[in-house]
């Protein structure tokens, strides 16, 4: 078991336990928002059902991972394609609801601007499907520490609990980010915050990370704020995105005020 896969399984039980107060099943919704686009992915998740095992949860995170990978590559395309950026600047690109995000993107998934010719809609859908088929994407994180021992990394993770966001108005886009994203369950809504990952493919050394950013500028601004407010040493790292990375990070997120340890 390598890298994020190791953490993906380690934090699962704790993450599910945190949501035991939720109903037997609910909607787990991943939302990605920028000034020029918005994407949502809805997936049913059943925290109270003990048979809702890691295999079932894998289906949830695969849905969300595909949506987030699509959003990361869509944002990259918007940055490098002037014509595409011009279109989105006139009318934001909106993809919702995409339930499960398991099939080929269709007209019902994209809210096409009124007035576009059918041929233009089909052409743009072809571009979106090409982006959706991409199997790789890059995200960014801010490394706050690197430790030989996992226990030392986890201790640092606990010490930095005040960096976790409070559960106040979490469902609105945060204008501080160029591209904001969040994950909502029955128990809470959280944005990417603190998590621990192996530094590389093996089981160590261990890095304490803050955030999973689709835009490198957002990561740089977060690092600057941490250096200025906390006098912290920060390193911006590019990470190959994967479902295992997403699950590893999400399983360690907490929201201040929602657990006994926060």
Cα(202)–Cα(219) distance, integer angstroms: 25
Which residues in the chain show pLDDT less than 70? 1-25, 46-59, 97-98, 102, 166-171, 200-203, 254-262
Summarised one tens digit per residue, pLDDT across range 193-239 is: 899 998 766 667 899 999 999 999 999 999 999 999 888 899 999 99
- Residue 260 lies inside a defined structural domain of this protein: no
Task: Provide the pLDDT for residue 250.
Answer: 82
- Residue 38 lies inside a defined structural domain of this protein: yes
Residue 41 DSSP one-character state: E
Task: Provide the pLDDT for residue 2.
Answer: 56
- Residue 53 lies inside a defined structural domain of this protein: yes
Task: Provide the pLDDT for residue 255.
Answer: 59
Helices (H) and strands (E) in the chain, counts: 8, 9
Cα(137)–Cα(71) distance, integer angstroms: 9
Tokens of 213: 């950013």
Task: Provide the pLDDT for residue 8.
Answer: 47
**Cβ(41)–Cβ(63) under 8 Å?**
yes
Task: Provide the pLDDT for residue 3.
Answer: 55
Q: Is 29 left (phi over 0), alpha (psi -120 to 50) or beta?
A: beta
Q: What is the pTM of this model?
A: 0.82
Q: Is 195 helix (H, G, I), strand (E, B) or coil?
A: strand
- Residue 257 lies inside a defined structural domain of this protein: no
- Residue 258 lies inside a defined structural domain of this protein: no
- Give the strand pairing for 189-190 and 37-45: unpaired
**Cβ(72)–Cβ(246) under 8 Å?**
no
Angle between helices 82-90 and 54-80 (to 10 degrees): 100
User: Which helix H or strand E contains 64, and what residues bound it?
Assistant: helix 54-80
Cα(185)–Cα(228) distance, integer angstroms: 33
Domain count, the chain: 1
- Residue 261 lies inside a defined structural domain of this protein: no
Summarised one tens digit per residue, pLDDT across range 130-144 is: 999 999 999 999 999
Strand runs labelled E in the chain: 26-34, 37-45, 93-99, 138-147, 179-184, 189-190, 194-198, 206-213, 235-240
- Residue 259 lies inside a defined structural domain of this protein: no
Task: Provide the pLDDT for residue 15.
Answer: 44
Tokens of 66: 């595909």
> What is the SS3 string spanning 229-257?
HHCCCCEEEEEECCHHHHHHHHCCCCCEC
Task: Provide the pLDDT for residue 167.
Answer: 62
- Residue 88 lies inside a defined structural domain of this protein: yes
Note down the domain range covering 24.
3-250
């Amino acid at each position: 078991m390598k890298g994020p896969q190791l953490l993906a399984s380690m934090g699962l039980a704790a993450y599910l336990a945190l949501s035991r107060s939720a109903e037997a099943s609910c909607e787990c919704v991943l939302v990605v928002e920028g000034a020029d686009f918005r994407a949502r992915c809805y997936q049913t998740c059943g925290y109270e059902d003990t048979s809702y095992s890691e295999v079932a949860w894998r289906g949830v995170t695969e849905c969300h991972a595909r949506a987030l990978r699509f959003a990361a590559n869509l944002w990259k395309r918007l940055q490098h394609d002037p014509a595409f950026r011009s279109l989105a600047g006139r009318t934001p690109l909106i993809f919702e609801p995409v339930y499960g995000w398991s099939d080929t993107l269709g007209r019902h998934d994209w809210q096409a601007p009124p007035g576009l010719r059918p041929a233009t809609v089909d052409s743009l859908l072809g571009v979106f499907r090409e982006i959706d088929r991409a199997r790789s994407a890059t995200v960014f994180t801010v490394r706050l520490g690197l430790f030989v021992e996992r226990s030392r990394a986890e201790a640092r993770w606990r010490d930095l609990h005040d960096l976790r966001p409070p559960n106040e108005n979490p469902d609105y886009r945060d204008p501080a980010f160029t591209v904001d994203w969040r994950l909502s369950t029955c128990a809470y809504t959280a944005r990417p915050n603190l998590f621990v990952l192996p530094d590389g493919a093996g089981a160590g050394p261990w890095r304490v990370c803050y955030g999973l950013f689709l835009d490198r500028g957002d990561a740089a601004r977060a690092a600057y704020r941490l250096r200025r407010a906390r006098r912290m040493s920060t390193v911006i790292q590019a990470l190959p995105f994967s479902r295992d990375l997403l699950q590893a990070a999400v399983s360690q997120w907490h929201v201040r005020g929602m657990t006994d340890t926060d």
